[in-house]
Chains A and B, each alone.
Chain A
Amino acid sequence: EVQLVESGGGLVQPGRSLRLSCAASGFTFDDYAMHWVRQSPGKGLEWVSGISWNSGTIDYADSVKGRFTISRDNAKNSLYLQMNSLRGEDTALYYCAKDMEGTFHYYHMDVWGKGTTVTVSS
């Protein structure tokens, strides 16, 4: 079964850091690009970051550029999101998503995890 399981969310104070993980199974992880997408309570989807199959191409939404770092470990079938200098507006449910392609710029996200919740509050 193709599956993505996110972890690492929680309550964190503004300015602090958090690292999210996404464990992939059921498919050849290193064939595909991956994304992080978030959704604030009651709001729409916001693409956060994408990484190509070999980590050769990476990009971020302007709202997180310079604060968040995406990475992957193909040997461990895992995707990560290092989030630094967290702000209240980063409070959201964070989804890990698989792309249908090795590159992420077409945004063909065909498999999604259930998400992990990040709450930034003092």
Chain B
Amino acid sequence: QSALTQPASVSGSPGQSITISCTGTSSDVGGFNYVSWYQQYPGKAPKLMIYDVSIRPSGVSNRFSGSKSGNTASLTISGLQAEDEADYYCSSYTSSSTLDVFGAGTKVTVL
């Protein structure tokens, strides 16, 4: 069981916006601005999409954005495209322990 809670799946139609949530506690998501998001295609290595809640690494599409409110961080994908269909994982710095650095992951389906 992950310390960071993500929905198992989120879906949307091409062109729509979807949001994936990542809920933690004040010891991790809520207490620090060190939330990261990773995208993973089947059979491929993960890719860093967002770090420090809302910063996009160079080369990541600006259709991906991150935010945080209280103990919940969110990844929003705008203008959803077929290529966005993948698994997405959140992670966070935690002051409590190193158990379950990653959320369980969210499968994004483009309808």
Docked complex Cα distance between A61 and B38 (Å): 19
Q: How far is the CB of A108 from chain B (nearest CB, A)?
A: 5
Cβ-defined contact, B45 with A46, below 8 A: no
Among residues 47 to 73 in chain A, which have CB atoms less than 8 Å away from a CB atom of chain B?
47, 50, 59-62
Q: Is B91 an interface residue (CB 8 A)?
A: yes
Q: A47-B98, A61-B99, A114-B45 are in contact. Are A109 and B36 (CB under 8 A)?
A: yes
Task: Please indicate the chain A residues that have their CB under 8 angstroms from the CB of B46 in the complex.
Answer: 37, 45, 95, 97, 109, 112
The contact sample of 17 A-B pairs, CB cut-off 8 A, is A44-B89, A45-B89, A45-B102, A45-B105, A46-B100, A46-B102, A47-B101, A62-B97, A62-B99, A95-B46, A105-B93, A106-B93, A107-B36, A107-B91, A108-B52, A109-B48, A112-B47
Cβ-defined contact, A110 with B89, below 8 A: no
Instruction: Write the residues of chain B forming the contact surface with A, with a CB cutoff of 8 angstroms.
Output: 2, 34, 36, 38, 40, 45-48, 51-52, 57, 87, 89, 91-93, 97-105
Task: Please indicate the chain B residues that have their CB under 8 angstroms from the CB of A107 in the complex.
Answer: 34, 36, 91-93, 101
Q: Is A113 an interface residue (CB 8 A)?
A: yes
Given contact pairs A46-B100, A109-B46, A110-B48, enumerate 15 new A-B contacts (beta carbons under 8 Å).
A44-B2, A44-B103, A44-B105, A45-B38, A45-B40, A46-B102, A47-B100, A61-B98, A61-B99, A62-B98, A106-B36, A107-B36, A109-B38, A109-B48, A115-B45
Q: Is A12 an interface residue (CB 8 A)?
A: no
Interface residues of A, CB < 8 Å — how many?
A: 23
